[in-house]
Amino acid sequence: MPTIPFLSEEQSAPQSPAARSAARELLLDVVVTRGDVVESRHAVHAAVVSANGELLMSAGNAGLLTWWRSCAKPFQAMPLVESGGLEKLQWKPDQLALACASHGGEPEHVAIAEGMLASLGLEEGDLACGPHEPLATRGARLLRESGQRVTRLHNNCSGKHSAMLAQAVLRGISTAGYEKIDHEIQQDALRSVALWSGVEVEKLGVAVDGCGVPVFAMPLANMALSYARLVNAAARGHAAAARIVHAMTGNPFLVGGTERFDTALMLACRGKVLCKIGAEGVHTLALVDRGIGLAVKVEDGAPRAQYPAVLALLAQLGELPDPLPESLRDFAAKPVRNTRGESVGEIRVSPALLDASGDEG
């Protein structure tokens, strides 16, 4: 198995219980208010980890075992980058960003995915992911106005699937069943995820993701560790890691899309934060200049709690612009409105995050 350059034995070692207990504990639970009363609450777990495995901050259970979902995409794309596939195909950062994306299915995304397939001599029907309506509101509107049908290219994972097909084509192996765990391409992805996360292959949970390819389960802290290692390796000269980091932070629109959270956040932070959303309330991020990884999981999977929690955690780390840009304000604290459009409450992180001794309002 390949190794991560510049990763010492000390950085690979598991953290001691004493070191874990020294981590700063936060409350990131998100509340839904109506008037002055908390009507609902979403439990949030989080881990903030350095590249050497030190747990710096936590909320809830930093060791929570859960599915990584689409947050694993940079590491699923890693084998293609490391093998020189981008050069062989003359793919640019745009194609790499889409390979790591959960894109909004807008015309720009679809065109790049279609071009990726064309460069392989393949077409939409070769994608194993099913079709779904574009995730971006703009993408869905433009598709309706065009009168065209929804295709697999609109699937938010079409870039990832195209990159997986590229690996098979370049290696001269069959693309049939490329989405199955026993296919060589998925075995490469499995080993890549294990390497960067520090979880042995045999200990990774494996199931089927929403788009049909394998999905991996691991402790939340290991998700954060993967992203910390990614940006740390990029800063120290690991070419493949650097290309992935630069492709994602340099092309925020391709990673998400119009009015999508990841895009708005990376644009606002101007390359200092790399972030990747996953389904069911999971999010993984990296502080590029500090070499720190973050992982957040909303226990009940609610997206409405995901964004306020991520932003609150970044605020605690001093990584959000002040004042908060308009593009992020509704993600940080969203009004609850009734059928008349009146604001009757709010979705926000518990005030206890800011004042640990305070009572809930």
With pLDDT > 70 as the criterion, what percentage of the chain qualifies? 91
Which structure tokens are listed for 299? 């226990």
Residues in the chain: 361
Q: Is 111 within 8 Å of 76 (Cβ atoms)?
A: no
Give mean pLDDT, residues 134-159. Answer: 98
**Does residue 17 have a cis bond before it (omega within 30 degrees)?**
no
- Condensed to tens digits (0 to 9), the pLDDT of residues 77-112 reads 999 999 999 999 999 999 999 999 999 999 999 999
- Is it the case that residue 356 has pLDDT exceeding 50? no
Q: Which residue has the higher pLDDT, 12 or 132?
A: 132
Question: What is the residue-averaged pLDDT of the chain?
Answer: 93
Confidence of residue 20 (pLDDT cuts 50, 70, 90): low
Predicted local distance difference test score (pLDDT) of residue 352: 54
Candidates 297, 278, 310, 301; CA nearest to 73 is 278
Q: Is 85 within 8 Å of 240 (Cβ atoms)?
A: no
- Condensed to tens digits (0 to 9), the pLDDT of residues 326-343 reads 999 989 999 999 999 999
Q: What is the pTM of this model?
A: 0.92
- Condensed to tens digits (0 to 9), the pLDDT of residues 264-283 reads 999 999 999 999 999 999 99
Predicted local distance difference test score (pLDDT) of residue 350: 83
CA distance 277 to 309: 13
Angle between helices 158-171 and 184-197 in degrees, nearest 10: 110
Pairing of strands 24-26, 205-208: unpaired
Looking up tokens 């490329």, which residue turns up?
178
For 271, other C-beta atoms within 10 Å of its C-beta total 15
Predicted local distance difference test score (pLDDT) of residue 358: 36
Angle between helices 158-171 and 73-82 in degrees, nearest 10: 30
